[in-house]
Structure 1
Amino acid sequence: MSTKVGSITKIKKSKKTDVKDLAEKIKRNALLKQKKQQEEAQSSSSSSSDSKKEVETVKEIAITPDDELKFKTFAQLNLVPELMESIQQMKYTKPTPIQSEAIPYALEGKDIIGLAVTGSGKTAAFAIPILQALWESQSPYFGLVLAPTRELAYQIKETFDALGSSMGVRSVCIVGGMDMMDQARDLMRKPHIVVATPGRIMDHLEHTKGFSLKSLQYLVMDEADRLLDMDFGPALDKILKIIPTKRTTYLFSATMTNKIEKLQRASLQNPVRVAVSTKYQTADNLIQSMMLVSDGYKNTYLIHLLNELSGKSVIIFTRTCAHSQRTALLARILGFSAVPLHGQLSQGQRLGALNKFKSGVANILVATDVAARGLDIPSVDAVINYDIPTDSKAYIHRVGRTARAGRSGKSISLVTQYDLEMYLRIESVLGKKLPKDPSPEREVLQALHHHVDKAAAEAIRQTKDFHEKRTRRNKGGDDRDREER
């Protein structure tokens, strides 16, 4: 009996021990779990802090016109003699504010976000540091410059060619509207600098055998805010995945958007942000005004203005390709030397029109916003907004075609009753009211209106013929005024 009781007692003690051990085990597991959660929380907090730190490492430098330049002559930069020779040949006497602030940081190998009004020398601000670094490396596919329009891409290539002329720099321009096979041959010659529109360079990365950007050292996005628009997003994302993450990146633009801020966090390493202008700013030496236009008299007001600006170099901006073609024809019929520039022209026609305007063969360029970005035509005396842009940034870029590199310039916007809302929005963004130009005398307008109306009818007929011929030539073609290729 006593043996049985002892046995029962042992069992009870054993059960108590098991329960105690189990409780201890549960407690230990709970403590381990709590410790693990704390570590994860600390890790997450640290990661968040690092992420925040990464954003905060953007060094902000705002420059006002009164600030002293960081360097006053290019000779102070210790550039290679060959590059200095080209700078002197191009008559770059002293740096612009964006060049003065951005170039020294770029020469140190920093990533740059450069913000400055159009015509302030942004192209040289990124070309000079790249060419200086190229002198040491001499490797092919050293730099890729992305631009939103074909015309801007050609212009950037010209700047690299001029600055690199004494260094033997090989560059190539890869844009839509040109033969892919010819471009592939150019790429196989292993150029140092590739200037391209995003869609077309992506085409070559996917389809041109032997072409790769795996050794790329420099990426530049000029007019970066435009490149981040929906049209370019997919191609840009693919390019960023293909090219090396270890590289130097420059973003340059006249206007800043939140999209650039996102890209800045994703693609730049401890960048320096150099801002010579505020978010939306026009040149100080630009005289801006508006003219209220009676319904049905817009063409008459335009021709009156062209008479007033006779002999001057003028860019007229329209909203659509059809308006650009028709308005150029209207001006031509009435005896003005005008050429159109828009997305429905072939690449050869577009470059031809631009060259005629630059050389002075034609003194009036009638363009869509394809000409609003980055084009450097120093001698433009006036810009006329025939159609008010729907986007305030587009207005900044349009009027930035005049009053460049310290010269004075004038912009006039023709505002109908239907444009008032858009125009008031632009004034709100600019932070000022623009003066109103007096309308021409009624007798002058009436005398002009009859001739303009007849010419407008003929211009409409010729524009219709242009579109019909183009449709027959390019059946099923894409008429959108875009530059994705």
Structure 2
Amino acid sequence: MAADAEHGPLEEAVEEPRSFKDLGVTDVLCETCDQLGWKTPTKIQVEAIPVALQGRDIIGLAETGSGKTGAFALPILQTLLETPQRFFALVLTPTRELAFQISEQFEALGSSIGVQSAVIVGGIDMMSQALTLAKKPHVIIATPGRLIDHLENTKGFNLRALKYLVMDEADRILNMDFETEVDKILKVIPRARKTFLFSATMTKKVQKLQRAALKDPVKCAVSSKYQTVEKLQQHYIFIPSKFKDSYLVYILNELAGNSFMIFCSTCNNTQRTALLLRNLGFTAIPLHGQMSQNKRLGSLNKFKAKARSILLATDVASRGLDIPHVDVVINFDIPTHSKDYIHRVGRTARAGRSGKSITFVTQYDVELFQRIEHLIGKKLPVFPTQEEEVMMLTERVAEAQRFARMELREQGEKKKRSRDEANDDDDTEGATGVRNKVAGGKMKKRKAR
């Protein structure tokens, strides 16, 4: 009978909350959510926020683009409001870009309550970061390596009073071999803290970390199997390896007017393809690990502001970056790890919008492609192409390839001569001179369908 007596209220509770207020979020933060255009909570927010507000540890499994940052930021800010304290929360992330993005969300959500956050990542001067830490911000967002540098070398800095630890993209943090750093951090922060661990996938390493870092956690899983967003139209094209560049140009022309994110497997190929496309008159911009931090943020901001319509990136950019207007994701180089496919295509069709993804499959990629189809549990349709039209582009693409190779060589020589000068070429804006040599500039073609 007791079970039945309890069952009634549970039946009512099944109805999904319609607002952040229903989840227990305080009025001042509800107003901020409203101003940011967050009308209703996402699935992971519905699952995680009430549990977090009860003071429980959380392990959150959610697909990319699901609103994870809000799921941990709102409970932290609400508790901070109740008990104000400096060095209140630490968020660990795998990449610099993601750290800046999480910081933006904390600042936006906490704007009405005066929250201060600090981003502590590599590629930026240690001394200026030490000065930021001396001001004792409420929230620190950091990559593990640089945080350890400060814990070991910055006088007077410690996290002994920390109340919250968040590990975002935990699977990626561990895949990037930050295990030693994470262990060191866990040793110097209080055991009596709340811990939120968010991950897109549940790997053995994540399970091990969960056992080491969390106390009796509540599991909040939005999607138990790997899947891509329903509104995403996924396609592939099967092409000979030597014509990849020509097919890329063909597709960019076919789908002209959209914003594109093109994934390459190496920094060098990202830079080469960006130069190639620029030489053909496309507004393409690269984002990869060999660029300075300022250049990477610059590239991202130009793309976000729609000053550039094509962002070429390595997997450093495939997760956690919220770029709201990506219409098409192109896997120019197929990902070696099938799970990275999920994260790459998750850059489009975010927050309920539709989107398109096209994966290039050459004669060398068949096995990798079959693994992707097996992982997502569906056969992908072919993206229709006109082979004759692609072949008509080959001559001019070959010319642009030649100029791109020349520019890459020049950039390499400049880097040897002067590191400072080379930084100016990271954005490949300097390709303009050579670009004018390619006959006709941007490829003219019949109107895109």
Mark yes or no: TM-score above 0.5. yes
Which residue type is aligned with residue 316 of structure 2? V
Mapped to 2, the partners of 1:196 and 1:184 lie a distance apart of 13
* Percent of paired sites with the same residue: 58
Deviation track 1:167-226 (CA, whole Å, cap 9, x = no partner) reads 110101111110100000000000000001110011000000011000111011111101
1:400 equivalent in alignment to 2:346: yes
Provide the secondary structure at the position in 2 that maps to 1:365: strand
Q: How many residues align?
A: 409
1:445 equivalent in alignment to 2:401: no
- Which position in structure 2 is the counterpart of 1:228? 174
Contact preservation (8 Å) 1:316, 1:365: yes
Of 192, 202, 215, the residue aligned with 2:148 is: 202
Mapped to 2, the partners of 1:390 and 1:248 lie a distance apart of 35
Provide the secondary structure at the position in 2 that maps to 1:127: helix
Q: State the Cα distance separating 1:466 from its structure 2 match.
A: 2.1
Provide the secondary structure at the position in 2 that maps to 1:228: helix
Contact preservation (8 Å) 2:56, 2:194: yes
- Which position in structure 2 is the counterpart of 1:311? 257
Which runs of 5 or more structure 2 residues have no equivalent in the other structure? 1-12, 421-449
Contact preservation (8 Å) 1:383, 1:398: yes
Q: State the Cα distance separating 1:251 from its structure 2 match.
A: 1.0
Of 42, 48, 73, the residue aligned with 2:19 is: 73
- Which position in structure 1 is the counterpart of 2:80? 134
Mapped to 2, the partners of 1:406 and 1:69 lie a distance apart of 21
> 1:356-367 residue pairs with structure 2 within 5 A?
356-367=302-313
Deviation track 1:45-98 (CA, whole Å, cap 9, x = no partner) reads xxxxxxxxxxxxxxxxxxxxxx96642101224433332221121111111111
Provide the secondary structure at the position in 1 that maps to 2:112: coil
Of 280, 285, 301, the residue aligned with 1:339 is: 285
Mapped to 2, the partners of 1:422 and 1:460 lie a distance apart of 28
Which residue type is aligned with residue 409 of structure 1? G
Which residue type is aligned with residue 128 of structure 1? L
Q: State the Cα distance separating 1:350 from its structure 2 match.
A: 0.3
Q: State the Cα distance separating 1:105 from its structure 2 match.
A: 0.4
> 1:364-383 residue pairs with structure 2 within 5 A?
364-383=310-329
Contact preservation (8 Å) 2:23, 2:46: no
Of 207, 214, 231, the residue aligned with 1:268 is: 214
Mapped to 1, the partners of 2:153 and 2:65 lie a distance apart of 36
Which residue type is aligned with residue 196 of structure 1? A
Contact preservation (8 Å) 1:69, 1:101: no
Deviation track 1:124-182 (CA, whole Å, cap 9, x = no partner) reads 00000000010112111100001111000000000000000001101011111101000
- Which position in structure 1 is the counterpart of 2:376? 430
Which residue type is aligned with residue 464 of structure 1? R
> 1:22-421 residue pairs with structure 2 within 5 A?
70-421=16-367
Provide the secondary structure at the position in 1 that maps to 2:156: coil
Of 442, 445, 455, the residue aligned with 2:400 is: 455
Q: State the Cα distance separating 1:474 from its structure 2 match.
A: 4.8
Provide the secondary structure at the position in 2 that maps to 1:339: strand
Q: State the Cα distance separating 1:471 from its structure 2 match.
A: 3.9
Contact preservation (8 Å) 2:165, 2:194: yes
Mapped to 2, the partners of 1:165 and 1:354 lie a distance apart of 23
Which residue type is aligned with residue 56 of structure 2? K
Mapped to 2, the partners of 1:231 and 1:464 lie a distance apart of 32
Contact preservation (8 Å) 1:290, 1:412: yes
Q: State the Cα distance separating 1:408 from its structure 2 match.
A: 0.5
Mapped to 2, the partners of 1:273 and 1:384 lie a distance apart of 33
Mapped to 2, the partners of 1:262 and 1:243 lie a distance apart of 19
- Which position in structure 1 is the counterpart of 2:414? 469
Which residue type is aligned with residue 193 of structure 2? R
Which residue type is aligned with residue 469 of structure 1? K
Q: State the Cα distance separating 1:263 from its structure 2 match.
A: 1.1
Provide the secondary structure at the position in 2 that maps to 1:213: coil
Contact preservation (8 Å) 1:72, 1:100: no
When residues 423 and 104 of structure 1 are mapped into structure 2, their CA distance, relative to the original with a 3 A threshold, is same
Contact preservation (8 Å) 2:21, 2:27: no
Bigger shift: 148-157 or 88-97?
A: 88-97
Mapped to 2, the partners of 1:121 and 1:415 lie a distance apart of 31
Deviation track 1:327-383 (CA, whole Å, cap 9, x = no partner) reads 111111111111000011110100000000000000100000010011001110010
Q: State the Cα distance separating 1:230 from its structure 2 match.
A: 4.9
Contact preservation (8 Å) 1:98, 1:116: yes
Provide the secondary structure at the position in 1 that maps to 2:111: coil
Provide the secondary structure at the position in 1 that maps to 2:118: strand
Contact preservation (8 Å) 1:256, 1:279: no
Which residue type is aligned with residue 314 of structure 1? F
Which residue type is aligned with residue 60 of structure 2? G
Bigger shift: 463-472 or 290-299?
A: 463-472
TM-score by length of 1: 0.82
Q: State the Cα distance separating 1:119 from its structure 2 match.
A: 1.0
Q: State the Cα distance separating 1:461 from its structure 2 match.
A: 1.3
Mapped to 2, the partners of 1:242 and 1:472 lie a distance apart of 43
Mapped to 1, the partners of 2:417 and 2:316 lie a distance apart of 24
Provide the secondary structure at the position in 1 that maps to 2:301: helix
Which runs of 5 or more structure 1 residues have no equivalent in the other structure? 1-66, 476-485
Which residue type is aligned with residue 191 of structure 1? P
When residues 69 and 150 of structure 1 are mapped into structure 2, their CA distance, relative to the original with a 3 A threshold, is farther
Contact preservation (8 Å) 2:24, 2:50: no
Mapped to 1, the partners of 2:365 and 2:14 lie a distance apart of 42
Mapped to 2, the partners of 1:72 and 1:345 lie a distance apart of 43
Provide the secondary structure at the position in 1 that maps to 2:79: helix
Mapped to 2, the partners of 1:122 and 1:240 lie a distance apart of 22
- Which position in structure 2 is the counterpart of 1:60? none
When residues 255 and 285 of structure 1 are mapped into structure 2, their CA distance, relative to the original with a 3 A threshold, is same
Mapped to 2, the partners of 1:69 and 1:199 lie a distance apart of 43
Root-mean-square deviation (CA, aligned residues, Å) is 1.6
Contact preservation (8 Å) 1:385, 1:412: yes
